[in-house]
């Protein structure tokens, strides 16, 4: 149906009219298709850079049982979160994403406060996720150099500098404009799907021997110290091991953040969320199974100087083939950085145009050439690099950053879902994608799961914690954010921050008939 049939002026299409109904002008260029939106979202979640770098963590924290059954368990509950988000995204397709949803669903009474917390937790998840992904890519680059130069000594300092260089490059690609991002998105889809298929086949065919099914599906391992040096049960260790799987299934909110630049966002936004989760589950399961079957010597793999996953690649594909797979992980992590910076900057932009960021008038300016928030692109790059600074002194940095990212993301996912099924239940208007009468049970399951992992991933990841190398600084980061957001809200923001600010009045748009979006 064309615009005039809907009553829209010739200069406004359905996307622009719906955005206007939500109170915003079409400032950013709407230039991405549904497939490109899916590409951004799949890259943002990046299973390759989730499962593979933390494969050694999974081997030590529950072993094959946690790697395989943990993946399926996490996938089951993540789908509930994705369904809840997709329904809301169909009604509110804006760059603010979850932050905007929270404000609208909370209403005048609760919206401002909850959207304040929502924005900061989502930003924490975004920057921590990107920092962890690109830091993992840098670690694998260091490993690749060591494979060919045995005298090369990887270190946290070298990882940090490589990571910083990759992030600056990701910033430059984002600054190049929409065409560069489109290419990066499509290349990423190919890398994640084709790369995974080739990797899985090569590992299974090239492995000198394959582990049997009993080992893959029933073997439990614990190298955390919990079951040997404390009274903790294997079930507790298994729960800690879920971190590997949960970190691999984050970032699908990127579909919402890119919605103001996506065609038919009220359909392609929800579709991008669910398609990316489904694709991630399938890709991740294939990877987890292939790599677990391909383990040769468990102790040697876990303690390899190259890391567990690179050792499996080298054992199954040889020096050249293994090196190619290590580079694929590096490239996937870099592409994840490109996509995440794009999503970060859109979230920052939405918050800045509503006055939520310090120096918002400066940061909310769009670049004239690209019509993109380039100042916020580079702010994202700087923050992401800073978050990786602890890698200079702690071997547990990657798993800790993963925990921070998980909590930041999942809390920000749960807040609008919780409001949708409680205070916002009566006013929420379902649109193209809706869950009907299943909205509430799906929403409650999503919220309970979030509460569970919030507790689990704030706990020490090994026992005893007797040095800084094994210190999990997730509680410190999350605690700081809670204190910061609470203090700033009650001392200042509650007096002036009202949530999303309408840029336009619909009656000012000549010929545009408002679309009913509440």
User: Residue 30, SS3?
Assistant: coil
As a whole number of angstroms, the distance between CA 308 and CA 299 comes to 10
pLDDT in tens, 36-67: 888 878 877 778 888 999 999 999 999 999 99
pLDDT in tens, 336-363: 899 889 888 988 988 898 888 889 999 9
pLDDT for res 508 = 46
Which tokens in the block code for residue 496?
A: 């002036």
As a whole number of angstroms, the distance between CA 486 and CA 480 comes to 10
Q: H/E element holding 222?
A: strand 221-222
Question: To 10 degrees, what angle do helices 308-353 and 98-148 make?
Answer: 150
Q: Residues with Cβ < 8 Å from 390, sequence gap 6 or more? A: 397, 400, 473
The full set of domain ranges for the chain reads: 31-495
Question: To 10 degrees, what angle do helices 308-353 and 178-206 make?
Answer: 160
Give the closest residue to 290 by CA, choosing from 275, 309, 318: 309
Question: Distance of CA 270 to CAs 22, 34, 41, 82, 434, Å?
Answer: 17, 10, 11, 9, 10
Contact between 215 and 38 under an 8 Å Cβ cutoff? The reply is no
Instruction: Please report, to the nearest 10 degrees, the dihedral formed by the alpha carbons of residues 139, 328, 301, 62 taken in order.
Output: 90
User: Residue 170, SS3?
Assistant: helix
User: Residue 46, SS3?
Assistant: coil
* β-bridge mates for residue 32, sequence order: 262
CA within 13 Å, CB half, 468: 5
Give the closest residue to 182 by CA, choosing from 30, 374, 306: 30
Q: H/E element holding 270?
A: helix 265-293
Residue 62 has φ and ψ, to the nearest 5°, of 115, -25
Question: Distance of CA 245 to CAs 77, 215, 278, 371, Å?
Answer: 11, 19, 14, 36
pLDDT for res 491 = 95
Residue ranges in the chain modelled with pLDDT below 50: 1-11, 505-518
* β-bridge mates for residue 62, sequence order: 221
Peptide bond into 464 cis (omega under 30): yes
Write the secondary structure of 473-492 as one string of H (helix), E (strand) and C (coil): CHHHHHHHHHHHHHHHHHHH
pLDDT for res 469 = 63
Q: Residues with Cβ < 8 Å from 376, sequence gap 6 or more? A: 344, 345, 348, 349, 352, 363
Q: Residues with Cβ < 8 Å from 156, sequence gap 6 or more? A: 391, 392, 393, 394, 395, 397
As a whole number of angstroms, the distance between CA 130 and CA 133 comes to 5
Write the secondary structure of 57-68 as one string of H (helix), E (strand) and C (coil): HHHHEECHHHHH
Which tokens in the block code for residue 395?
A: 């071997």
User: Residue 518, SS3?
Assistant: coil
Which tokens in the block code for residue 417?
A: 């879902």
User: Residue 221, SS3?
Assistant: strand
Residue reference for tokens 């700033």: 488
Q: Provide Rg for the chain, Cα atoms.
A: 23
DSSP 357-409: STTHHHHTPPPTTT-S-HHHHHHHHHHHHHHTGGGGT-TTHHHHHHHHHHHHH
As a whole number of angstroms, the distance between CA 447 and CA 163 comes to 34
pLDDT for res 507 = 40
Chain-centroid distance of CA 354 in Å reads: 23
Q: Residues with Cβ < 8 Å from 480, sequence gap 6 or more? A: none
Query: What CATH class does 31-495 carry?
Result: mainly alpha
Contact between 23 and 514 under an 8 Å Cβ cutoff? The reply is no
Give the closest residue to 401 by CA, choosing from 335, 340, 474: 474
Which tokens in the block code for residue 365?
A: 């300016």
Its sign, for the CA torsion 204, 207, 209, 211, is negative
């Amino acid at each position: 149906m064309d615009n005039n049939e809907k009553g829209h002026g010739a200069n406004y299409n359905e996307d622009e009219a719906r955005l206007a109904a939500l109170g915003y002008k079409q400032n950013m260029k709407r230039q991405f298709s549904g497939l490109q939106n899916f590409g951004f979202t799949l890259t943002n979640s990046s299973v390759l850079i989730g499962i593979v770098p933390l494969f050694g963590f999974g081997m030590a924290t529950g072993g094959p049982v946690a790697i395989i059954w943990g993946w399926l368990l996490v996938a089951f509950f993540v789908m509930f979160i994705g369904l809840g988000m997709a329904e809301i995204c169909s009604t509110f397709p804006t760059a603010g994403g979850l932050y905007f949803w929270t404000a609208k669903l909370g209403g005048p009474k609760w919206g401002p406060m909850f959207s304040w917390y929502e924005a900061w937790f989502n930003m924490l998840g975004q920057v921590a996720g990107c920092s962890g992904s690109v830091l993992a890519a840098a670690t694998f680059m260091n490993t690749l150099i060591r494979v060919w130069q045995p005298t090369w000594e990887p270190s946290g300092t070298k990882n940090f500098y490589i990571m910083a260089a990759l992030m600056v490059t990701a910033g430059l690609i984002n600054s190049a404009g929409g065409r560069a991002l489109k290419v990066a998105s499509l290349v990423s889809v190919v890398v994640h799907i084709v790369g995974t298929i080739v990797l899985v086949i090569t590992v299974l065919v090239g492995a000198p021997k394959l582990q049997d099914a009993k080992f893959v599906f029933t073997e439990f391992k614990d190298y955390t110290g919990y079951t040997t040096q404390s009274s903790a049960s294997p079930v507790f260790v298994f729960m800690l091991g879920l971190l590997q799987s949960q970190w691999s299934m984050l970032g699908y909110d990127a579909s919402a953040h890119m919605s103001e630049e996506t065609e038919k966002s009220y359909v392609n936004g929800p579709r991008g969320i669910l398609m990316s989760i489904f694709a991630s589950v399938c890709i991740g399961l294939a990877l987890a199974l292939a790599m677990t079957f391909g383990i040769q010597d468990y102790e040697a793999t876990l303690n390899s100087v190259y890391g567990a996953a690179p050792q499996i690649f080298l054992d199954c594909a040889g020096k050249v083939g293994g090196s190619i797979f290590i580079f694929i992980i590096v490239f996937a992590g870099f592409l994840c950085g490109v996509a995440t910076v794009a999503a970060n900057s859109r979230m920052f932009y939405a918050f800045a145009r509503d006055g939520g960021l310090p120096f918002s008038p400066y940061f909310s300016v769009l670049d004239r050439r690209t019509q993109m928030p380039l100042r916020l692109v580079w702010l994202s790059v700087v923050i992401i690099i800073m978050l990786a600074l602890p890698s200079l002194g702690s071997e547990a940095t990657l798993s800790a950053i993963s925990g921070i990212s998980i909590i930041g993301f999942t809390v920000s996912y749960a807040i609008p879902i919780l409001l949708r099924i409680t205070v916002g239940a009566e006013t929420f208007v379902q649109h193209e994608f809706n869950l009907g009468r299943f909205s509430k049970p799906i929403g409650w399951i999503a919220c309970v799961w979030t509460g569970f992992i919030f507790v689990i991933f704030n706990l020490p990841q090994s026992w005893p914690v007797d040095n800084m190398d094994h210190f999990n600084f997730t509680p410190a980061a999350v605690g700081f954010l809670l204190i910061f957001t609470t203090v700033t809200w009650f001392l200042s923001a509650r007096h002036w921050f009202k949530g999303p600010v309408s840029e336009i009045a619909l009656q000012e748009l000549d010929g545009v008939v408002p679309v009913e979006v509440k």
